[in-house]
Amino acid sequence: MGRHTNAIPEDDSPAGRHEPGAGTPTHAGTPTHNRAAAHAGAPAQLRPAPAHLPDPPGDGAIASARGLTKVYGAGNTQVRALDAVDVDLGRGELTAIMGPSGSGKSTLMHCMAGLDSPTSGSVVVDGVEISRMSQRQLTKLRRTRIGFVFQAYNLVPTLTAAENITLPLDIARRPVDQARFDAVVRAVGLEDRLHHRPSELSGGQQQRVACARALIAEPSVVFADEPTGNLDSRAAAEVLGFLRRSVDDLGHSVVMVTHEASAAAYAHRVLFLADGRLEAELLRPDAATILDALGALGAARERRLAGDAPAGTTAEPAAVLGAVPAAVPGASPAEVPGAGAGPGAVPANAGHDPSGHRA
Ligand SMILES: Nc1ncnc2c1ncn2[C@@H]1O[C@H](COP(=O)(O)OP(=O)(O)OP(=O)(O)O)[C@@H](O)[C@H]1O
Ligand SMILES: [Mg+2]
């Protein structure tokens, strides 16, 4: 990614982060990264997601899916983990994906990262159609264009932290850029742990090694599946702060699955999945508006499952709208990452254009 520099600021505090709705240096002024700013002042809206997005996707999307369907098993045991998902993930954005257990979050990430193959539909990553690639092509793509962070860190136990970080480059037989390595290590705060093996590191340190490993090769996009799922709140904040800064200050694109509203509040945009479908999205989120959106979507889903509303609709949008407050009472930006920008819940994909042209 040509926009990257090796300078990664070390301010870890949420208060030190740029807020996407407030015109960040990275997002403001660059037509491909001002979608969040374009929505500033827009009223909160939570509506059903439109079924389809334009194909092909615009340049503002770092990764896109069209009609993405994944069916596991057959016959009575068949599970439709993804059901014709259309989504554009923004270039230079931190996107959070939320939804109930079993809603298809990991399946979506795996299919978009080339770790799993879809049953049907297409996936484009940084302009490259990957859904029909051979395993060999996918392996190469994952080494060069895609970073992945797993909940369970997945470090190689016999390698030191430094060796784990450079592993993608070593496997791809690419040289290690020392300045880049030093900057990434400094950013994740691992300077004094580089020669320790994973068993000698805390969970938070291990996950920071995994984040550094995901970013060292400057991938087009990093997918992180519950990266803070095993961490206490302090270690989680360190990892999330790093992920957010890697987006704001370096222009990386990160997609993260989380169950925690406080974690999703670090994102520029939150997508909500349910039953293998994209239901809605929330722009400029904060923890309170995310919790409200989860509550509203959960209630609507329960009514749907009970047969009170047709599938694919979010009943009573006005009531749902009312559940998303215009401000977060009693919460300061330092306490709630992302707070202060105001809510911006809109249907997933509706008017969403990572390029900002359509917004
Ligand atoms: N390899 C598999 N074989 C069969 N079914 C699978 C497989 N992987 C996932 N599934 C099913 O697909 C659905 C979606 O699973 P997925 O792991 O994507 O959910 P998730 O949203 O990530 O859930 P969680 O929050 O619990 O991690 C679930 O019903 C799951 O049981
Ligand atoms: Mg999962």
Q: Tell me whether residue 102 is in a domain.
A: yes
Look at residue 233 in the predicted model and tell me its pLDDT. Answer: 92
Q: Tell me whether residue 2 is in a domain.
A: no
What CATH number should be reported for the domain holding residue 239? 3.40.50.300
Alpha carbon of 27 to ligand 2 centroid (Å): 30
Q: List per-residue pLDDT tens for the chain, 359 residues long.
A: 333 333 333 333 333 333 433 333 222 222 333 344 444 455 445 545 667 887 878 778 999 999 999 999 999 999 999 999 999 999 999 999 999 999 999 999 999 999 999 999 999 999 999 988 999 999 888 888 999 999 999 999 999 999 999 999 998 899 999 999 998 998 888 999 999 999 999 999 999 999 999 999 999 999 999 999 999 999 999 999 999 999 998 889 999 999 999 999 999 999 999 999 999 999 888 898 999 999 988 888 888 888 865 554 444 433 343 333 333 333 333 333 333 333 445 556 544 444 433 33
Look at residue 156 in the predicted model and tell me its pLDDT. Answer: 97
Q: Tell me whether residue 8 is in a domain.
A: no
Q: Is 330 left (phi over 0), alpha (psi -120 to 50) or beta?
A: left
> Candidates 77, 97, 107: which one to mutate for ligand 1, based on the most atoms within 8 Å of Cβ?
107
Alpha carbon of 323 to ligand 2 centroid (Å): 27
Alpha carbon of 88 to ligand 1 centroid (Å): 21
Long-range contacts of 234-238 (CB under 8 A, 24+ apart): 234/204, 235/202, 235/203, 235/204, 235/207, 236/204, 236/260, 236/262, 236/263, 237/12, 237/14, 238/12, 238/189, 238/204, 238/208
Contact assessment for residue 234 and residue 189, using Cβ atoms and an 8 Å cutoff: no
Q: Tell me whether residue 3 is in a domain.
A: no
Look at residue 321 in the predicted model and tell me its pLDDT. Answer: 36
| Number of CB atoms found within 10 A of residue 80's CB | 16
Alpha-carbon distances, residue 54 vs 87, 256, 276, 358 (angstroms): 10, 24, 20, 11
Look at residue 310 in the predicted model and tell me its pLDDT. Answer: 56
**Residue 106 in contact with ligand 1 by CB distance below 6 A:** yes
**Residue 79 in contact with ligand 1 by CB distance below 6 A:** yes
Q: Tell me whether residue 120 is in a domain.
A: yes
Domain boundaries, position 279: 14-346
Contact assessment for residue 90 and residue 62, using Cβ atoms and an 8 Å cutoff: yes
Alpha-carbon distances, residue 31 vs 35, 71, 337, 354 (angstroms): 8, 37, 25, 9
Work out which ligand 1 atom sits closest to the CA atom of 108: 18
Contact assessment for residue 216 and residue 181, using Cβ atoms and an 8 Å cutoff: yes
Q: Tell me whether residue 162 is in a domain.
A: yes
Q: What is the DSSP letter of 20?
A: G
Residue nearest to atom 18 of ligand 1 (CA): 104
Contact assessment for residue 204 and residue 235, using Cβ atoms and an 8 Å cutoff: yes
Contact assessment for residue 286 and residue 340, using Cβ atoms and an 8 Å cutoff: yes
Alpha carbon of 103 to ligand 1 centroid (Å): 7
Q: Tell me whether residue 4 is in a domain.
A: no
Q: For the chain, what is the domain count? A: 1
Q: Tell me whether residue 357 is in a domain.
A: no
Residue nearest to atom 1 of ligand 1 (CA): 72
Cβ-based neighbours of 192, under 8 Å, separated by 6 or more: none
